[in-house]
Amino acid sequence: MKTEGRPTSPVAANMNEIKTVSGSKALEQATKLIFETGTPNRTGVDLPEPKGRASRLGSHERQGEIGLPGLSEPETMRHYVRLSQKNYAIDLGVYPLGSCTMKHNPRLNEKVARMPGFADVHPLQPISTVQGALRLMHELSHWICTLTGMPAVALTPKAGAHGELCGMMAIRARLDADGHSHKRRVLVPESAHGTNPATAVQCGFTVDEIPASDDGRVNMVALREKVKDGDDIAGIMLTNPNTCGLFERDIIEIADLIHAAGGYFYCDGANFNALVGRVRPGDLGVDAMHLNLHKTFSTPHGGGGPGSGPTVLSDALKDHAPVPYVTQTESGYDLVENKDEVSFGRMCAFHGQMGMYSRALTYMMSHGADGLKQATEDAVLNANYVQASLSDVMSPAFGGVCMHEALFDDSFLKDTGVDTLDFAKAMIDEGYHPMTMYFPLVVHGAMLIEPTESESKGELDRFIGSMRHLAERAKSGDVESFKQAPIYAPMRRLDETQAARKPVLRWTPPVETAEAAE
Ligand SMILES: *Cc1c(COP(=O)(O)O)cnc(C)c1O
């Protein structure tokens, strides 16, 4: 490791001086790759060879070694626990990743999700044996429809982006059913999440971008111009509050303009956590909107999953909803598995993410209507507290109050030599996961901070203190330490572009080592 040019705090100096034989540093255990730890022919289970079973794989049977690392159970456990300790988590500290809503996952959710009646059921069990699970799904649908002011919800989509796909497929099905297959243009604001245009294109629509106004909202002059000759308009995909953390004040007029052009209003509901209990999207003219249970309703994001993106649908679209869905009958609950051709079909094999439904409903019911509203208000208050406390040392992208996230641009770093990326890396050394950076694209060097309602004032003050210190250090001309950051992370600066463009997904034994061992 190169050490020149690093700032020398007493701790850093000591860390470089003392070398342990094991490579570990007390609780920070040195760990090898799992393939390097493993020994062939070792396994964590001890089962007899199966007897008298003929292969049913024909010529498709594996010929060579399977190549899995041979590990005992304790070795396996230690490997993954050590890896998890090199990672950041909401259970470790503030995780201010804007747009992603990294809020606390209450342990009560976990307790309920593990109840055998919810956890140990199989999607092919007879309906009469899963009445409780179906009731939970039905009740969750009721809460979702009530909170959004919408008549129907499709629970099955398994992520926000999957929910977008569900909503846009419903819109397409409705347009086609009405003989409007020429309507294929979807308006998408410049500040949209990347999944919006991707979804529209995936569904066979073309994307027409609407520029942002100087105050970070939809440019209404441009929008009115675009809908003038709107015969081919299928709809709009709009996030509210938008990705700048601002409420789209003209949302009712936007909905009216789109409806007058014969189009539908898809609202990206990823930021619904800024509205719950205060605003019902159904009252704003929304036709379809996904909810991210893993954002707004506190279910875990996991390592990119399992997510859940239930999608609410208006009266105009609800007949085209995907199957299956739960209905209440006189004798209990039933599943509609097949429907006439108006339903656009299925989004997944079974009923979606049951484990997320139980967690989300637990969150809703344990908060109650008043608690959900308070969570919304606290999230917005926290974001404004962060924005106000940093506005003299950092540069808020837009004036005025924000919703649930505070957006800064990089103008406060002008002429310092430090850029948004350096600043984010320095936050890692301070013990924080960086905020969302370089998104939304409409703001130069964007830094999008979403504290959520989970953080106490004390925790926010500590975070703000670190951010102020970093901003002042950048302005004082201390560029070099920013370029070196992170110093204390187990991995320092990775070549993220290279990793994305040329991912190495398969471990191959290093040839030299094998020879050296001979
Ligand atoms: C997170 C997010 C999405 C996508 O949701 P996933 O569950 O990650 O697929 C879409 N739009 C916005 C604004 C988001 O923040």
Q: pLDDT tens, 228-253?
A: 989 999 999 999 999 999 999 999 99
> Average of pLDDT values for 132-141?
98
Which residues touch 455 (CB under 8 Å, ≥6 apart)? 94, 382, 463
Q: Report whether pLDDT(477) > 50.
A: yes
Q: For 344-354, what is each residue's pLDDT tens digit? A: 999 999 999 99
Quick count: other Cβ atoms within 10 Å of Cβ 477?
A: 11
- For ligand 1, mutation pick of 102, 193, 299, 405 (most atoms within 8 Å of CB): 193
pTM of the model: 0.90
pLDDT score at 56:
86
Q: Which residue has the tokens 């397409």?
A: 172
> Average of pLDDT values for 137-148?
98
State the Cα angle at 439 between 198 and 417, rounded to 5°: 140
pLDDT score at 4:
47
Q: Are strands 395-396 and 332-336 parallel, antiparallel or unpaired?
A: unpaired
Beta bridge partners of 326: 335
Exposed (0-12), middle (13-18) or buried (19+): which is 307, by Cβ within 10 Å?
Answer: buried
Split at pLDDT 50, 70, 90, the class of 2 is very low
Is 187 strand, coil or helix?
strand
Split at pLDDT 50, 70, 90, the class of 64 is confident
Residue with the smallest CA separation from ligand 1 atom 6 is 160
Q: What is the DSSP letter of 218?
A: B
Q: Report whether pLDDT(402) > 50.
A: yes
- For ligand 1, mutation pick of 202, 292, 347 (most atoms within 8 Å of CB): 292
Cβ-contact 425, 449 below 8 angstroms:
no
What percentage of the chain reaches a pLDDT higher than 90? 79
Cβ-contact 466, 432 below 8 angstroms:
yes
What percentage of the chain reaches a pLDDT higher than 70? 95
Of ligand 1's listed atoms, the one at least distance from the Cα of 292 is 7
The Cα 121–Cα 124 span in angstroms is 9
Q: Which two tokens stand for residue 266?
A: 């898809």
Of ligand 1's listed atoms, the one at least distance from the Cα of 294 is 7
The structural domains of the chain, ordered by start, are 108-365 (3.40.640.10)
Residue with the smallest CA separation from ligand 1 atom 4 is 160
Cβ-contact 98, 450 below 8 angstroms:
yes
Give CA separation, 244 vs 158, 267, 398, in Å. 25, 15, 9
pLDDT score at 512:
63
How many Å lie between the centroid of ligand 1 and the Cα of residue 355? 19
Average the pLDDT over each of 19-33, 318-332, 455-469 and give the range with the smallest value.
19-33
User: Whats the size of the chain, residue-wise?
Assistant: 518
* Bond preceding residue 451 cis, omega within 30 of 0: no
The Cα 339–Cα 329 span in angstroms is 17
Of ligand 1's listed atoms, the one at least distance from the Cα of 162 is 9
pLDDT score at 58:
86
Residue with the smallest CA separation from ligand 1 atom 7 is 160
State the Cα angle at 130 between 127 and 134, rounded to 5°: 90
- Verify whether ligand 1 is closer than 6 Å to residue 420 (CB atom): no
Instruction: Please give the radius of gyration of the chain, using alpha carbons only, rounded to the nearest integer.
Output: 26
Residue 289's H or E segment, with its range, is strand 288-290
Of ligand 1's listed atoms, the one at least distance from the Cα of 101 is 15
Closest CA to 352 of 197, 204, 146, 166: 166
List of E strands, 373-420: 395-396, 406-409
Closest CA to 264 of 227, 231, 237: 237
Q: Which two tokens stand for residue 367?
A: 């908060």
Q: Are strands 288-290 and 233-239 parallel, antiparallel or unpaired?
A: unpaired
Q: For 77-118, what is each residue's pLDDT tens digit? A: 999 999 888 889 999 999 999 999 999 999 999 999 999 999
Q: Report whether pLDDT(8) > 60.
A: no
Residue 138's H or E segment, with its range, is helix 131-148
The Cα 325–Cα 106 span in angstroms is 27
Split at pLDDT 50, 70, 90, the class of 59 is confident
* Bond preceding residue 324 cis, omega within 30 of 0: yes
Which residues touch 85 (CB under 8 Å, ≥6 apart)? 27, 28, 29
- Verify whether ligand 1 is closer than 6 Å to residue 166 (CB atom): no
Q: Report whether pLDDT(209) > 60.
A: yes
The Cα 180–Cα 170 span in angstroms is 13
Q: Are strands 332-336 and 325-329 parallel, antiparallel or unpaired?
A: antiparallel
In the sheet that holds 185-189, the strands lie side by side as 152-154, 311-313, 288-290, 264-268, 233-239, 185-189, 206-210
The Cα 172–Cα 183 span in angstroms is 9
Is 202 strand, coil or helix?
helix
Cβ-contact 216, 244 below 8 angstroms:
yes
pLDDT score at 285:
97
pLDDT score at 513:
54
> Average of pLDDT values for 425-452?
97
pLDDT, the chain, mean: 92
Q: Report whether pLDDT(397) > 80.
A: yes
Q: Report whether pLDDT(5) > 50.
A: no
CA atoms in the 13 A half-sphere facing the CB of 290: 29
pLDDT score at 10:
47
pLDDT score at 15:
52
Q: For 290-326, what is each residue's pLDDT tens digit? A: 999 999 999 998 665 689 999 999 999 999 999 999 9
How many Å lie between the centroid of ligand 1 and the Cα of residue 62? 39
pLDDT score at 305:
60
- Verify whether ligand 1 is closer than 6 Å to residue 99 (CB atom): yes
> Average of pLDDT values for 450-476?
98
Cβ-contact 141, 326 below 8 angstroms:
yes
- Verify whether ligand 1 is closer than 6 Å to residue 268 (CB atom): yes
Residue with the smallest CA separation from ligand 1 atom 1 is 100
Residue 329's H or E segment, with its range, is strand 325-329
How many Å lie between the centroid of ligand 1 and the Cα of residue 337? 28
Q: Which residue has the higher pLDDT, 91 or 43?
A: 91
Q: Which residue has the tokens 């909170």?
A: 147
Q: For 256-269, what is each residue's pLDDT tens digit? A: 999 999 999 999 99
Closest CA to 443 of 157, 216, 275: 216
Cβ-contact 132, 118 below 8 angstroms:
yes
